[in-house]
Amino acid sequence: MAQKSIEQTRNSGTDLNIDWINAQQANTSAIERRASSLGARRSVKKHYQTAWLLKAITCIDLTTLSGDDTAERVKRLCDKAKQPVRANIIEALGLDNIAVGAVCVYHDMVETAVERLAGSGIPVAAVSTGFPAGLSPLRLRILEIEESVKAGAREIDIVISRRHVLNQNWQALYDEVQAFRQACGPAHMKAILATGELGSLRNVARASMVAMMAGADFIKTSTGKESVNATLPVSLVMVRAIRNFYEETGQYVGYKPAGGISKAKDALTYLSLIKEELGHPWLNNDMFRFGASSLLGDIERQLEHHVTGAYSATYRHALA
Write out the catalytic residue numbers: 157, 220, 256
The string of DSSP letters for 90-153 reads HHHTT------SEEEE-GGGHHHHHHHTTTS-PPEEEE-SSTTT--S-HHHHHHHHHHHHHTT-
Q: How far is CA 103 from the centre of its chain?
A: 11
Sign of CA dihedral 126, 8, 284, 88: negative
What's at 135, amino acid-wise?
L
Alpha-carbon gap, residue 33 to 40, rounded angstroms? 11
* CA-to-CA dists, residue 99 to 54, 112, 117, angstroms: 10, 18, 11
* Whole-angstrom distance, CA of residue 119 vs CA of residue 256: 25
